[in-house]
Amino acid sequence: MKETKIKCVVWDLDNTLWKGILQEDDEVILKEEAGEVIKELDKRGILQSLSSKNDYELAKRKLEEMDLWNYFIYPQINWNPKSEGIETIAKNINIGIDSLAFVDDQKFERDEVSYFHKEVLCIDASEIKKIPSMDCMKPKYITMDSKNRRLMYQTDIIRNNVEKDFNGTKEDFLKSLHMTFYINKAKEEDLQRAEELTVRTHQLNSTGHIYSYDELKACIGDEKYEVLVTRLDDKYGTYGTVGLALIEKSEKVWEVKLLLMSCRVISRGVGNILLNYICNEAKKAGVKLQAQFVPTDKNRIMYITYKFNGFKEIKEKDTIVFEADTGYERKIPAYVECTNIERRGR
């Protein structure tokens, strides 16, 4: 049994998603249960991809006929080992390989993937009907961001392709996106997504703690806490809710108990905006700003983020405590507009 929630299911094609071998018979038939499971997982916000030994154009055309091609992101259809395809998919999506599952009818292929990636959950194609009932396939909440997750990733693929062909500097490209970064105090309707964000975000989670809906609800109802949520939009659409901060406030010191940012937006140069915003608010309030950091095996980038932004370590034991230099105002990058959702009537 797998405790880690699955973020992406990777499918084989021949005798897994459809009946038959495409190279031998172009009239392969979709397995009805496979089509149903693909659509159900998509509704839950679980991403899906392909790792199949097949001719790319032939397989793509068949999946388009079945009206399924658009359900898969970063498909790896080639003659390489399937373990390589799965590794490529994890890197492209930027998720831990332990959050992937692989469905294949052949024991040899499942064993090959397990040998190189023991963290991947391998599922026999004969068990397809059972996939939706697996605990690791059941997200606690299905939010609007969950329902739109595949579309948001597909839009990001468009952005990445545009960037590859863009003539100019990185900053010029970011400016061309016309990004708006929204920071707002969390309301109760934001909390399901906020909890989901703490569950899904590991590399950019400053404490590794997973806050529950009830914990966050208690915080927004308590004057000594402030919970901030962020969203990023650009000319291509929305990235959804991408950041979360929990701040405990006292008369002389504010302490950042949690700071996290979705990995999807770091390449957009907005990773430090929320932290700089909090620093500026602390400066206005005339208080010290401190931040907790609990090292995990995945979140070293958050340690670097604090150090890069002028935070100094003042205590260290199980929990590192940083203190910010609030003697100056932090600047927001010129290529992004930072605003408040309520002020904009959003």
Indicate whether 341 pLDDT > 60: no
pLDDT over 90 percentage in the chain: 63
Q: Is residue 226 part of a domain?
A: yes
Give the end of a domain, one of 137, 157, 192.
Answer: 137
Q: Are residues 76 and 177 in the same domain?
A: no
State the CB neighbour count (10 A cutoff) for residue 109: 20
Q: Is residue 100 part of a domain?
A: yes
Indicate whether 196 pLDDT > 80: no
Q: Are residues 132 and 172 in the same domain?
A: no
Identify the CATH number of the domain in which residue 85 sits.
3.40.50.1000
Q: Are residues 180 and 307 in the same domain?
A: yes
Contact indicator for 157, 73 with CB cutoff of 8 Å: yes
> Who wins on pLDDT, 212 or 198?
212
Average pLDDT value for residue range 6-31: 95
Question: What HEC string does the chain produce?
Answer: CCCCCCCEEEECCECCCEECCCCCCCCCEECHHHHHHHHHHHHCCCEEEEEEECCHHHHHHHHHHCCCHHHCCCCEEECCCHHHHHHHHHHHHCCCHHHEEEEECCHHHHHHHHHHCCCCEEEEHHHHHHHHHCHHHCCCCCCHHHHCHHHHHHHHHHHHHHHHCCCCCHHHHHHHCCEEEEEEECCHHHHHHHHHHHHHCCCCECCCCCCCHHHHHHHHCCCCEEEEEEEEEECCEEEEEEEEEEEEECCCEEEEEEEEECHHHHHHCCCCHHHHHHHHHHHHHCCEEEEEECCCCCCHHHHHHHHHCCEEEEEECCCEEEEECCCCCCCCCCCEEEECCCCCCC
Contact indicator for 259, 230 with CB cutoff of 8 Å: no
The pLDDT score that the predictor gives to residue 343 is 40
State the CB neighbour count (10 A cutoff) for residue 119: 13
Q: Is residue 243 part of a domain?
A: yes
The pLDDT score that the predictor gives to residue 202 is 56
> Which range marks the domain in which residue 273 is found?
168-339
Indicate whether 24 pLDDT > 60: yes
Mean pLDDT of the chain: 89
Q: Are residues 217 and 306 in the same domain?
A: yes
Q: Are residues 203 and 311 in the same domain?
A: yes
Q: Is residue 159 part of a domain?
A: no
Give the end of a domain, one of 120, 137, 154.
Answer: 137
Tally of domains within the chain: 2
Paired strand residues for 183: 230
Average pLDDT value for residue range 186-191: 86
Q: Is residue 302 part of a domain?
A: yes
Q: What tokens appear for 339 in the block?
A: 């605003």
Indicate whether 327 pLDDT > 50: yes
Q: Are residues 239 and 98 in the same domain?
A: no
Identify the CATH number of the domain in which residue 236 sits.
3.40.630.30
Q: Is residue 293 part of a domain?
A: yes
Q: Are residues 115 and 202 in the same domain?
A: no
Contact indicator for 15, 105 with CB cutoff of 8 Å: yes
pLDDT over 70 percentage in the chain: 95
Q: Are residues 122 and 64 in the same domain?
A: yes
Indicate whether 171 pLDDT > 50: yes
In this predicted model, what pLDDT tens digit does every residue of 279-312 receive, in sequence order? 999 999 999 999 888 877 777 777 888 888 888 9
Contact indicator for 7, 200 with CB cutoff of 8 Å: yes
Name the nearest CA neighbour of 338 among 276, 286, 284.
276
- C-alpha–C-alpha distance, residues 73 and 82, integer Å: 16
Q: Are residues 186 and 311 in the same domain?
A: yes
Contact indicator for 36, 76 with CB cutoff of 8 Å: no
Q: Are residues 110 and 208 in the same domain?
A: no
Q: Is residue 345 very low, low, confident or very high in pLDDT (cuts 50, 70, 90)? A: very low
Q: Is residue 145 part of a domain?
A: no
Q: Is residue 2 very low, low, confident or very high in pLDDT (cuts 50, 70, 90)? A: low
Q: Are residues 208 and 131 in the same domain?
A: no
CA separation (Å) from 307 to 283, 302, 321? 18, 9, 11
- C-alpha–C-alpha distance, residues 192 and 165, integer Å: 38
Q: Are residues 18 and 123 in the same domain?
A: yes
Q: Is residue 250 part of a domain?
A: yes
Residues with Cβ < 8 Å from 91, sequence gap 6 or more?
Answer: none
- C-alpha–C-alpha distance, residues 209 and 72, integer Å: 31
Average pLDDT value for residue range 211-228: 89
Average pLDDT value for residue range 314-337: 87
In this predicted model, what pLDDT tens digit does every residue of 240-285 receive, in sequence order? 888 889 999 999 999 998 888 887 787 788 878 989 999 999 999 9
